[in-house]
Amino acid sequence: MNHTLDDRRDRRAGPGLTPLSSLDTASIQEAYRRWAGVYDSLFGAVSAAARRRAIAAVNRLPGRDVLEVGVGTGLALPHYNTDKRITGIDLSVDMLRQARSRVARLGLHSVQALHEMDAEATDFPDDSFDTAVAMFVASVVPNPRRLLAEMRRVVKPGGNILFVNHFAAPKGPRWWIERGMAPASRALGWHPDFALEALFSPEDLGQATIDAAPPLGIFTLARLAN
């Protein structure tokens, strides 16, 4: 089911927050070129529980064909059920190199393909997948609404779209920390002050299932029926 996309490039993550368009493709690729070699050790542990929560949700869903958007170094790939057929995409050739090595080393036969591809404009035909999941990707892409629209396009009607991501706290001490980190977005390769409203329209928020994910609820798992 396709919806109208608000793809204004200066759309903000929330009231008074940094414009999401301050992250462009080149800055994302450069950031992840720097992070690729240490990504697993620096980020893998803190994100592991939330990643497992998202994969468990995918494994429970009907349908065989799964698109993992932003597959990165392939940390999630060993944990899908063997009856799923996984296609992964990522913009970073450095991250994909490690993902392909992981697939070969572990003999992950459920992984059908790993492509270098822009998540906001993929090459897949409409209705190609039963499920699309984006783990820690929504706050990285230049246009989150365009990402969601593209995931809707490639997922079959009645399929499912899942995100697990860090979203900014609406208030309190964490909000101030996240806001203070926002100027470093280009160096980090993601938006610390990324809000749910930057990804989901009010209609989407009304339909999505949204749950806190470990550790300590700093990540959020959201599922939206297509």
CATH number for the domain including 152?
3.40.50.150
Read off the pTM: 0.77
Is residue 53 included in any domain, yes or no? yes
Owning domain of residue 172: 20-225
Max distance between CA atoms of the chain, in angstroms, equals: 47
Beta strands in the chain (DSSP E): 65-69, 85-90, 111-116, 129-135, 155-165, 209-213, 219-225
pLDDT tens digits for 117-158? 999 999 999 999 999 999 999 988 889 999 999 999 999 999
Is residue 107 included in any domain, yes or no? yes
* 3-state DSSP assignment of residue 131: strand
Is residue 15 included in any domain, yes or no? no
Q: How many domains does the chain have?
A: 1
pLDDT tens digits for 198-221? 999 999 999 999 998 887 677 889
Is residue 78 included in any domain, yes or no? yes
Is residue 12 included in any domain, yes or no? no
| Structure tokens, 195 | 């809000």
Strands 129-135 and 155-165: parallel
